């Protein structure tokens, strides 16, 4: 019986090692052939762009176009109206009714439709005529998504996601991600287990309290689970904030080193093996904030359609979030990942997460707090 068990462990280790070798080979190929996920894919061709709209979407599109390295030039902006407290980002050349005359006068290479409300306002005839003359007409929201790596929530209608091909379940991709996550977590645990007694001794000698820290988080389909970490803070009974910026003084001496070396995250391999998490996915949020986020962040419930991850697209593109407004910004990246998730995107995220860890940057947003309290609301977020 012991010999049989030993063979199973050896077989599991060999399979996990083989899976990681294949993963490393594919990741290396991906690394050499794909652009960096953290880099905004700015336009690299010389084009003159005409923008229809002057609201939040138009501003976001203009910000991307004006990013360093972009070779697009904004030839003009057309709009009928805009918010009273937000003047147009560029001097207006006219209204949407003037589109035909403006096209003949400035001859743009591309027209970006960035109207937040298009019902009865879209100059269809003028746009069709522009297409016939060889001018590219493109949806500004789609362009913004492609160039920035996030979704424009303020202009995202439910129908845009409802009929999106990207949100359909990918059973094979999900199964492959799960197999890779289990293989990596198994190897990670087997390799790091010798470190566990040493880490436990350092924590015990440095401060009073448990070796491990567990916090209730929200997983796939809204299921609660206990996220496991090595404790890096002093235990306090008071109900304080759960955000890192408010708890820096609670870090222990050993905790600072554990976080700097990211050893406090090692127990989360167990969460992956249990099925609570994958290697890649949206970071799981504390259950104490779940109801608030569902009520205040548009499309937040879609996060629960995939397993949370040890790292994710929002972590490598945005980083920490300490307010509701910042969590809404991170949700833009989470929605992009949910819509476009694939093996290639996961491999890219893993590669750049590894680079961040080597450089000493943390990917964990939340501080430890056994008595979690709701997130402080700084700016209200309008929902649609």
Residue 271 shares a structural domain with residue 299: yes
Q: Which of 148, 175, 190 is the last residue of a domain?
A: 148
Domain assignment of residue 322, yes or no: yes
Residue 5, SS3 per DSSP: helix
Residue 127 shares a structural domain with residue 176: no
Write down the pLDDT at residue 371.
32
Residue 220 shares a structural domain with residue 286: yes
b/e map of 311-349 (b: 16 or more CB within 10 Å)? bbbbbbbbeebbebebbbbbbbbbbbbbbbbebebbbbb
By the 8 A CB rule, do 274 and 223 touch? no
Domain assignment of residue 284, yes or no: yes
Residue 92 shares a structural domain with residue 192: no
Residue 175 shares a structural domain with residue 120: no
Residue 196 shares a structural domain with residue 321: yes
Residue 70's CATH number: 3.40.50.1980
Domain assignment of residue 140, yes or no: yes
Provide the domain count of the chain. 2
Residue 186 shares a structural domain with residue 72: no
Domain assignment of residue 370, yes or no: no
Angle of CA points 315, 177, 351, to nearest 5° = 45
Q: What is the DSSP string of 182-212?
A: HHHHHHHHHHHTTHHHHHHHHHHHHSSS-SE
Domain assignment of residue 364, yes or no: no
By the 8 A CB rule, do 331 and 285 touch? no
Residue 196 shares a structural domain with residue 337: yes
- Find all residues with CB under 8 Å of 171, minimum gap 6, and list them: none
Band of pLDDT at residue 110, cut at 50, 70 and 90: very high
Domain assignment of residue 375, yes or no: no
By the 8 A CB rule, do 373 and 242 touch? yes
Domain assignment of residue 378, yes or no: no
* Torsion angle, alpha carbons of 133, 134, 135, 136, to 10: 140
pLDDT in tens, 309-348: 999 999 888 877 878 889 999 999 999 999 888 888 998 8
pLDDT in tens, 277-318: 999 999 999 998 899 999 999 899 899 999 999 999 998 888
- Given a cut of 90, is residue 129 above it in pLDDT? yes
Write down the pLDDT at residue 42.
75
Mean pLDDT of 152-168: 72
Task: Quote the CA–CA distance of 40 and 320 in Å, as a whole number.
Answer: 19
Residue 311 shares a structural domain with residue 176: yes
- Given a cut of 80, is residue 159 above it in pLDDT? no
**CA atoms within a 13 Å half-sphere pointing along the CA-CB vector of 133:** 15
Domain assignment of residue 162, yes or no: no
Range of the domain at 355: 167-359
Residue 132 to residues 71, 125, 126, 127, 295: CA-CA distances in angstroms?
25, 11, 10, 9, 45
Residue 315 shares a structural domain with residue 215: yes
Position with higher pLDDT, 70 vs 37: 70
**CA atoms within a 13 Å half-sphere pointing along the CA-CB vector of 336:** 28
By the 8 A CB rule, do 347 and 338 touch? no
Give the tokens for residue 175.
Answer: 């199964």
Q: Which is nearest to 286 in space by CA: 194, 375, 211?
A: 375
Residue 143 shares a structural domain with residue 227: no
- Given a cut of 50, is residue 366 above it in pLDDT? no
Residue 176 shares a structural domain with residue 122: no
pTM of the model: 0.77
């Amino acid at each position: 019986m012991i010999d049989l068990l030993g063979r199973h462990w050896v077989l599991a280790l060999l399979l996990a090692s083989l899976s990681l070798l294949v993963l490393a080979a594919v990741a290396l190929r991906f690394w050499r052939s794909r652009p960096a996920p953290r880099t905004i894919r700015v336009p690299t061709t010389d084009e003159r762009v005409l923008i229809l709209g002057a609201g939040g979407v138009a501003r976001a599109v203009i910000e991307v176009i004006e990013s360093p390295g972009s070779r697009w030039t904004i030839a003009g902006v057309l709009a009928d109206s805009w918010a009273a407290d937000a003047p147009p980002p560029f001097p207006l050349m006219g209204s949407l009714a003037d589109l035909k005359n403006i096209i003949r006068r400035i001859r743009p290479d591309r027209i970006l439709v960035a109207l937040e409300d298009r019902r009865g306002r879209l100059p269809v005839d003028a746009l069709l005529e522009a297409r016939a003359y060889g001018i590219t007409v493109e949806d500004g929201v789609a362009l913004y998504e492609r160039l920035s790596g996030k979704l424009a929530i303020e202009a995202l209608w439910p129908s845009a996601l409802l009929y999106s091909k990207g949100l359909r379940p990918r059973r094979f991709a999900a199964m492959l991600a799960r197999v890779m996550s289990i293989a990596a977590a198994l190897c990670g645990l087997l390799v790091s287990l010798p470190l566990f007694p040493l880490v436990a001794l350092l924590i015990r000698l440095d401060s009073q309290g448990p070796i491990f820290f567990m916090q209730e988080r929200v997983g796939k389909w809204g299921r609660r689970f206990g996220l496991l970490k090595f404790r890096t803070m002093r235990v306090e009974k008071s109900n304080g904030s759960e955000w890192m910026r408010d708890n820096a003084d609670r870090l222990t001496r050993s905790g600072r080193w554990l976080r700097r070396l990211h050893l406090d995250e090692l127990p989360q391999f167990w969460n992956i093996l249990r099925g609570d998490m994958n290697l890649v996915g949206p970071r799981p949020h504390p259950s104490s904030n779940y109801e608030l986020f569902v009520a205040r962040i548009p499309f937040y419930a879609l996060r629960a359609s995939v397993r949370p991850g040890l790292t994710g697209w929002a972590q490598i593109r945005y980083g920490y979030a300490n307010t509701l407004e910042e969590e809404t910004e991170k949700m833009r990246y989470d929605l992009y990942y949910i819509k476009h998730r694939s093996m290639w995107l996961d491999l890219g995220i893993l590669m750049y997460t590894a680079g961040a860890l080597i450089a000493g940057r943390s990917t964990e947003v939340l501080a430890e707090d056994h008595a979690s309290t709701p997130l402080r609301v700084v700016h209200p977020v309008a929902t649609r």
